[in-house]
Amino acid sequence: MSSMANHDLILGQSHNLALGHDQQLMLSHNHSLGLGENHDLELGQTDDQHLGLGRTHDHELGLGIANDHELDLGLNHDDEGDGVHTYGHENELSMDQKPEHDDHVMPIPTQNHDLDLPENNDLAVSENQEFDENMALTVVHNPEMSIESAEEMGLHESHLMVSTTPVIQARTLAISPNYELAVGQEFPDVKSCRRALRDTAIALHFEMQTIKSDKTRFTAKCRSEGCPWRIHAAKLPGVPTFTIRTVHESHTCGGISHLGHQQASVQWVATSVEQRLKENPDCKPKEILEEIHRVHGITLSYKQAWRGKERIMAAMRGSFEEGYRLLPQYCEQVKRTNPGSIASVYANPTDNCFRRLFISFQASIYGFLNACRPLLELDRIYLKSKYLGTLLLATGFDGDGALFPLAFGVVDEENDDNWMWFLSELHNLLEINTENMPRLTILSDRQKGIVDGVEANFPTAFHGFCMRHLIDSFRKEFNNTMLVNLLWNAAQVLTILEFESKVLEIEEISQDAAYWIRRVPPHLWATAYFEGQSFFHLTANIVESLNTWILDASGLPIIQMMECIRRQLMIWFNERRETSMQWPSILVPSAERHVAEALDRARTHQVLRATDAEFEVISHEGTNTVDIRTRCCQCRGWQLYGLPCAHAVAALLSIRQNVHRFTESCFTVATYRKTYSQTIHPIPDKSLWKELSEAEGDVNASNANQLQLQIAINPPKSLRPPGRPRKKRVRAEDRGRVKRVVHCSRCNQTGHFRTTCAAPI
């Protein structure tokens, strides 16, 4: 057992430190403790760092060895069992047991256990580490030091003292072996070489400055002024492999002191968070920043994190440009996997820039025409993707009142022409799939483009206001909760007398508000005047109902967005179909509740029969006439909602009729199951589209469509503007709206209020 610089530390074989015959305890300038093959305890590189052994009387091995030099290696000696010895942070080397045989050897684990300690850090010793008279360490102050038995040295247990105060480590920098650079180290190519050097610079907290970088060589130095560190790598002849030729000196700069890092590029950020984004694509840039700071100890800008995420997401889901380019093939796959569906894309003939996309699945078409209420709401969602655009929606309602999306249109911008085109496509799909076009009730915000489109394509439809849009406009004009509630009540009452009573209440509070309401024709929004069947739907709240998933999808590339919509529809169809199989009733749950409430109220009504079909029903609210042949009641509830009102229920019970037979068919469970009887099928991955189209398609048809499928559609010319997007959209009815003229009560002039009046008194 020997040491460099003429300081030898000798362990006799009879002293069981479990090193074996051929294992030595080596102490050199790098202060490594040899515990057998590949078992080193490294303490740094300078002479003033020590392994409990220095050149003065204060030699330490994780403890201060004063004149009674002590040794503790933090090893755990266990004589029980098979005699295996382990070591760790809290383990001890117990030397109070004398081995029975001189050849007793402590087995050393075969793994390579390296303990890396930074500069000026000591190995602390726990309080219960001690020696006895049989095992002690004596340091002799001459060039050759030896360890002999306690008997020979004349030392006793009383002479040994153990330090109980550990040395606190101020900063820990654990250097992974993966970041070690050595001459002769090879990399598959120049990119791998650059990437390895970049990762090393980030891990070891220094910045590199590239001096030369080409296909055959790479040279870099430390960016810190005066630091001698330098590295040179070159390409091996005949192969793309790069090898490190020289690594000059070690760092003297102490590393970087600022928070960022020059080598932490966007690509490095993307590579660092790639796995996390694959597991959680909804991970926010702020979370990425926090993880990089926690793992790597560097602080980056929000923009770097955002761009890194965008780069990975583009690789995972495809770019926005690729989405538009593959639209013809996507439409072909929609029609191939879901026969009977409509999918068409239109581009500008001059530059092939995207203009319009229309998709409606066959399962939705069948369910709407055969089982849904004849009610549609039209709405739009402004897209948040790179090239903006607008998603147009036509949504129906199933028998239980849930949303039933029928058709989707994506346009480059919302305007009158695009609404006319969308409603024309909607009319064509309904006309093709049914012989008797239902008389629809359509709700929207009634902007000019929608009004013209409905009149041109659905001339017999009842087109009314969606109350959500009307209420929002009213609230902006009159920010008064009481007035808003009265407007809602006025819209919901069933008779004209009740409606006029509500409007008078509004007029008592604000004449301007009453005037604003009377300017909107009541037959377009008030239930008392409405001519169509609203089926309890004054408003559909499409965007609010779908915002849990469709608003997030609105920021995706166009094909990814449509796939998100298709998958949600596929899930809805399956879940609702399975749920309806558990319903034991005749009517859907919401209709059953309505009929049950009507039955309770009908028990107190008095019924007088006029003819086989006509009845007079008397209640505490008044008298109403009921005709069960035409399914009409004077209160208008039966004809508006499609379910018998309390007056109709009382009349039906008086002649012992089954109330369920007098409900609209869309409210029955059998019809509801028919709504979701069809299936929306998955669409294969885009890498298989070309192969599947050629394998399953007719040869002539493939040739005929080949030109159309090869057309590369370019993105629209509209780009998302810089800055944070608006959180609230501008309503269509507010565009171009003349602002309300305000009056000053002080000077009687217009254009300002009393509080801002500057006129002289």
352-377 pLDDT, tens digit each? 999 999 999 999 999 999 999 888 98
Q: How many residues does the chain have?
A: 761
Residue 327 tokens, joined = 């639209």
**Does a structural domain hold residue 129?**
no
CA 17/CA 714 separation, integer angstroms:
76
User: Is the same domain home to 297 and 429?
Assistant: no
Report yes or no: 672 and 580 within 8 Å, Cβ to Cβ.
Answer: yes
User: Is the same domain home to 449 and 556?
Assistant: yes
Report yes or no: 184 and 232 within 8 Å, Cβ to Cβ.
Answer: no
Q: Which of 154-158, 271-275, 679-683 has the lowest mean pLDDT?
A: 154-158
CA 76/CA 89 separation, integer angstroms:
10
**pLDDT band for position 316 (cuts 50, 70, 90):** confident
**Dihedral over Cα of 364, 368, 370, 372: its sign:** positive
User: Is the same domain home to 279 and 396?
Assistant: no
The dihedrals phi and psi of 250, each to the nearest 5 degrees, come to -120, 170
Residue 170 tokens, joined = 């101020």
Report yes or no: 649 and 631 within 8 Å, Cβ to Cβ.
Answer: no
**pLDDT band for position 179 (cuts 50, 70, 90):** confident
User: For the residues 33-62, what does the mean pLDDT come to?
Assistant: 36
CA 557/CA 281 separation, integer angstroms:
14
Query: Does the pLDDT of residue 526 top 50, yes or no?
Result: yes
The dihedrals phi and psi of 347, each to the nearest 5 degrees, come to -125, 160
Query: Does the pLDDT of residue 641 top 50, yes or no?
Result: yes
User: For the residues 73-84, what does the mean pLDDT come to?
Assistant: 37
- The CA distances from residue 605 to 600, 626, 672, in Å, are 10, 13, 32
Query: Does the pLDDT of residue 25 top 60, yes or no?
Result: no
Residue 427 tokens, joined = 């009319």
Dmax (CA) of the chain:
130
Q: Which of 74-88, 199-213, 508-522 has the lowest mean pLDDT?
A: 74-88
**pLDDT band for position 257 (cuts 50, 70, 90):** confident
pLDDT in the model for residue 696 = 62
**pLDDT band for position 181 (cuts 50, 70, 90):** confident
CA 507/CA 539 separation, integer angstroms:
24
| Element housing 220 (H / E) | strand 217-222
Residue 291 tokens, joined = 């993880």
Query: Does the pLDDT of residue 87 top 70, yes or no?
Result: no
Helix, strand, coil shares of the chain, percent, nearest 5, are 35, 15, 50
CA 556/CA 560 separation, integer angstroms:
6
User: For the residues 516-527, what does the mean pLDDT come to?
Assistant: 89
Query: Does the pLDDT of residue 597 top 60, yes or no?
Result: yes
- The CA distances from residue 326 to 101, 310, 687, 705, 720, in Å, are 80, 20, 11, 14, 21
**How many CB atoms lie under 10 A from the CB of residue 469?**
21
- The CA distances from residue 588 to 350, 405, 607, 677, in Å, are 52, 19, 28, 16
Q: Provide DSSP, 144-173.
A: B--B--HHHHT--GGG------PPPPS---
* C-alpha neighbours within 13 Å on the C-beta side of residue 732: 22
CA 261/CA 596 separation, integer angstroms:
70
Q: Is 327 exposed, middle or buried (0-12, 13-18, 19+ CB in 10 A)?
A: buried
Helices then strands, each counted (H, E), the chain: 23, 20
User: For the residues 316-324, what does the mean pLDDT come to?
Assistant: 86
**pLDDT band for position 495 (cuts 50, 70, 90):** confident
Residue 37 CB contacts under 8 Å (≥ 6 apart), including other chains? 23, 108
Single out the residue in 317, 332, 357 at which a domain terminates. 317
**Does a structural domain hold residue 76?**
no
**pLDDT band for position 390 (cuts 50, 70, 90):** very high
User: Is the same domain home to 427 and 575?
Assistant: yes
Q: Provide DSSP, 58-104.
A: T-BSSSB--TT------EE---STT---EE-TT------S--SSTT-
Q: Which of 25-34, 375-384, 594-603 has the lowest mean pLDDT?
A: 25-34
**Does a structural domain hold residue 113?**
no
Report yes or no: 388 and 720 within 8 Å, Cβ to Cβ.
Answer: yes
Q: Provide DSSP, 389-405.
A: -EEEEEEEE-TTS-EEE
Query: Does the pLDDT of residue 750 top 90, yes or no?
Result: no
CA 531/CA 534 separation, integer angstroms:
9
- The amino acid sitting at 752 is H
User: Is the same domain home to 242 and 295?
Assistant: no
Query: Does the pLDDT of residue 109 top 50, yes or no?
Result: no
Q: Which of 12-26, 170-184, 489-503 has the lowest mean pLDDT?
A: 12-26
**pLDDT band for position 541 (cuts 50, 70, 90):** low
- Point out which residues pair with 218 in neighbouring strands: 213, 233
**Does a structural domain hold residue 494?**
no
Comparison of pLDDT for 112 and 481, the residue scoring more:
481
User: Is the same domain home to 288 and 378?
Assistant: no
**How many domains is the chain built from?**
4
User: Is the same domain home to 565 and 430?
Assistant: yes
CA 104/CA 79 separation, integer angstroms:
11
Query: Does the pLDDT of residue 54 top 70, yes or no?
Result: no
Comparison of pLDDT for 22 and 283, the residue scoring more:
283
Strand 217-222 relative to strand 208-213, pairing: antiparallel
Q: How far does CA 93 lie from the centroid of its chain?
A: 52
Report yes or no: 341 and 335 within 8 Å, Cβ to Cβ.
Answer: yes
Residue 750 tokens, joined = 């217009």
**Does a structural domain hold residue 253?**
no
Of 124-138, 146-160, 682-696, highest mean pLDDT = 682-696
User: Is the same domain home to 303 and 330?
Assistant: no
pLDDT in the model for residue 749 = 75
User: Is the same domain home to 445 and 428?
Assistant: yes
**Does a structural domain hold residue 549?**
yes
User: For the residues 101-109, what does the mean pLDDT come to?
Assistant: 40
Residue 576 tokens, joined = 């609702």
Strand 441-444 relative to strand 462-465, pairing: parallel
CA 576/CA 145 separation, integer angstroms:
85
CA 167/CA 123 separation, integer angstroms:
7
| Element housing 376 (H / E) | strand 375-382
H helix runs in 411-557, sequence order: 416-433, 448-457, 467-477, 481-492, 496-509, 511-518, 542-546, 550-553
Mean pLDDT value across the chain: 75
User: Is the same domain home to 440 and 337?
Assistant: yes
**Domain housing 636:** 587-667
CA 417/CA 390 separation, integer angstroms:
13
Residue 9 tokens, joined = 């530390």
pLDDT in the model for residue 112 = 41
User: Is the same domain home to 439 and 332?
Assistant: yes
User: For the residues 209-221, what does the mean pLDDT come to?
Assistant: 91
User: Is the same domain home to 289 and 401?
Assistant: no
CA 7/CA 20 separation, integer angstroms:
21
**Does a structural domain hold residue 107?**
no
**pLDDT band for position 722 (cuts 50, 70, 90):** low
**Does a structural domain hold residue 45?**
no
Q: Is 450 exposed, middle or buried (0-12, 13-18, 19+ CB in 10 A)?
A: buried
CA 386/CA 398 separation, integer angstroms:
34
